[in-house]
Amino acid sequence: MRLSPVSVSNLYSMATTDVTALTFGLTLVRHGETQYNKEGLLQGQAVDSPLSETGRQQADAAGRYLRDVNFTNVFVSDMLRAKQTAETIMKHNSSCLRLQMICDPLLKEKSFGVAEGKPVKEVREMAQAAGQSFPNFTPPHGETQEQVKERVRQFMEKMLLLMGNEDWLHRGKDVSSASVRETQQEEQNAHQGVQGVQAHALVVTHGAYMCVAVRHFVEELGCDVPQGCDRAHMFSLSPNTGMCRFILTVGKEQDTLVLSGIHCVFIHRKDHVKELH
């Protein structure tokens, strides 16, 4: 599969290199529970609450689940609940000891405008009255889906540019598309899909933001989805510390970096928190 550069918004500049194909892992993690989550209140961007006790336990469980997975980059929303989750995951992971956590406002939660701080149930009713679904609904003064999607596009460009320009990366070997397809047959564990990839980003962000990102990957970038995964589940809200993993195939075209394929390894995985319920 090859995606046109237009589909990815822009070409990504990179230094001249002998590498003609790269494969990147991308693991998205939603932050742990906050008191607002527990009480069914909408946070968005105006409410910058910390993790609850349960949220800290969830982040710890996520860290233990991912402890042996190799990461080369860590990107995090600049909101407190995401940063606390990322810090806990990194504390458990030896590959993260040498990494700097990059906080990026492009990964912020969707703004829900006047609905922030209100019960999610009330906002769902507002959405239903407007003939829309939550979290796709845009309350007054909130961000539209297109605005959030633009932030997703901008972040992807920044991420691929940064990861693609790592000097050490270009000393590695190419990974063929055949070996990427074989990841679909791997055992369903924390390493699934990222054995042999040349770079792997941990991205800790938010529920509604992840919904927009996943929909963008599937509907606009032609992302391959796991066998038997229905769209309703694919586009649903990930649970607290729920995980989604993608494999990005990136090629070089006239000294620029172009996303040429994307495959979803798993979606909304929550095995690590089952024991907490």
Active site residue 109: yes
Asked if residue 69 lies in contact with residue 142, where contact means CB atoms within 8 angstroms, the answer is no
Contact 209, 109 (CB under 8 A): yes
| CA separation for the pair 239, 252 (Å, rounded) | 36
- Among the options 31, 206, 263, 272, which is catalytic? 31
Omega before 226 within 30 of 0, i.e. cis: no
Query: Which residues partner with 24 through β-bridges?
Result: 199, 248
Residue 178 and residue 4 in contact, taking contact as beta carbons nearer than 8 Å: no
Residue 27: its H or E element: strand 21-30
**81 labeled binding residue:** yes
d(CA 276, CA 250): 38
- Known binding residue 240? Answer is no
For residues 39 and 33, what is the distance between their CA atoms, to the nearest angstrom?
A: 10
30 annotated as a binding-site residue: yes
| The pair of three-digit structure tokens given for residue 7, joined into one six-digit string | 């589909």
Half-sphere exposure at residue 205, Cβ-oriented, CA atoms within 13 angstroms: 30
Residue 124, annotated as binding a ligand: no
The catalytic residue among 53, 109, 253, 263 is 109
The annotation status of 37 as a binding-site residue, yes or no, is yes
CA distances from 192 to 85, 189, 210, 273 (A): 21, 5, 20, 18
Residues labelled catalytic: 31, 109
Q: Which residues are annotated as a binding site for substrate?
A: 30-37, 81
